[in-house]
Amino acid sequence: MDKMTLHRMEYYGYHGVFEEERKLGQRFYVDLELELDLQAAGRSDDLTLTVNYAEVHFLVKKIVETKSFKLIEALAEYIASSLLDTYTVINAVTVKVTKPHPPFDIHFQGVTVELHRTRK
């Protein structure tokens, strides 16, 4: 299966277990791998035969910046289901959500969840 990958899209959202996270917000990164047939679009140079990645970016931006989840697992799940519901040409999606600066008194470069969902 062909793939379209969107790397490290950056958004500001209000997700987290702690109330301060949902009140003050923080930066999140989202990576997507969309599995779909790109042959017709590649041969015809026709945007309507593929997924417009600018539209995908704005859909994910709207989700990350207007919804609020306690868990980044729930955020990733919502993104995956929204993409599969919106774009019928997508057969499967891998969503990776990174919280680069979790509010812990320990030093590491963030936490990431990654999930893979297929069309049912």
* Active centre residues (catalytic): 99
For 5, the 3-state DSSP assignment is strand
Give residue 45's region: left, alpha or beta (phi > 0; psi -120 to 50): left
Ramachandran angles phi, psi of 4, nearest 5° = -120, 130
Q: What is the largest CA-CA distance in the chain?
A: 53
Distance of alpha carbon 62 from alpha carbon 24, whole angstroms? 17
The answer to whether the CB of 82 falls within 8 A of the CB of 90 is no
